[in-house]
Amino acid sequence: MTASDHEGRLGEEFFTPGTSSFTEFLAAHRPDLPAPRALPDDVRGVRAPHGTTVLALTYRDGVLVAGDRRATMGHLIAQRDLEKVLPADDHTAIAIAGSVGIALDMVRLYQVELAHFEKIEGIPMTLAAKATRLATMIRQNLAQAMQGLAVVPLLAGYDSAGPGGGRGRIFSFDAAGGRYEKDGYHAEGSGSPYARGALKKLYRPEMTREEAALAALEALYDAADDDSATGGPDLARRIFPVVSVITEDGYERLAEAETRRLSVAVVERRQSRPDGPNAPV
């Protein structure tokens, strides 16, 4: 401990000019804290819970983000009620797919990073800058990703200052930190090919919030139908997907009662049409 610790005053590092990045501040002044690094050879191939399918789609008022609740560990179900959609700040959400433990740590650090930037600079990051910052954090995990502990999140937010006026935007990433903006909709995780296939036929840019939520739930149902690692609505345990929206007013998670109602409606419609609704013509 330094003298300033005993006297209740901040140390010199807090008054040293630097960047507005909280992670860079930690790396410079607390190198003893955990940092991304390669795993030892004797723990390579470790089995850890993995999150599966998440998706996002823009709609009339903003952008919607949804995710199933299952985490798997090999062929086992590690958790049935994992929450994969989390707020990053007031107008941004992050959905996680990949190694759960690393992903949740990354989300917590990312939340602090955005809050720290806003306090230091006096203004929030732009949505494009948020996506770039998250890409950098993913790239720092590359050594672990090469050993099977990859994190592939999905970032969505409402961009009030973007080109063309206020609108929802979606960004995807690869394990090496590549950043890609997606138009309309996107999905990540093991069930993503089936979810994207469903959204391809159901998506319309001017959908209402309820229409967008139903399209997302139909896509997750299709993913669970063809991918064993994706969990569908569990009516017996009352476990339903997490659905959140981001609009000009900010981040909002749909109430459990609303998500349950929409999920039950999807399940009931599948009783007569197991393959799902037809695409609108």
The residues carrying an active-site annotation are: 52
CA-nearest of 199, 205, 244, 189 to 219 is 199
Task: For residue 269, give the H/E element and its range.
Answer: helix 256-272
Question: Hey, what are 55's tokens?
Answer: 């998706």
Cα dist from 267 to 234, 243, 262, 263, whole Å = 10, 16, 9, 6
In 3-state terms, what secondary structure has residue 33? coil
CA-nearest of 76, 66, 102, 108 to 89 is 108
Alpha helices in the chain (DSSP H): 3-7, 22-29, 100-121, 127-140, 142-145, 192-202, 209-226, 256-272
In 3-state terms, what secondary structure has residue 265? helix
Judge contact between 244 and 251, C-beta under 8 A. yes
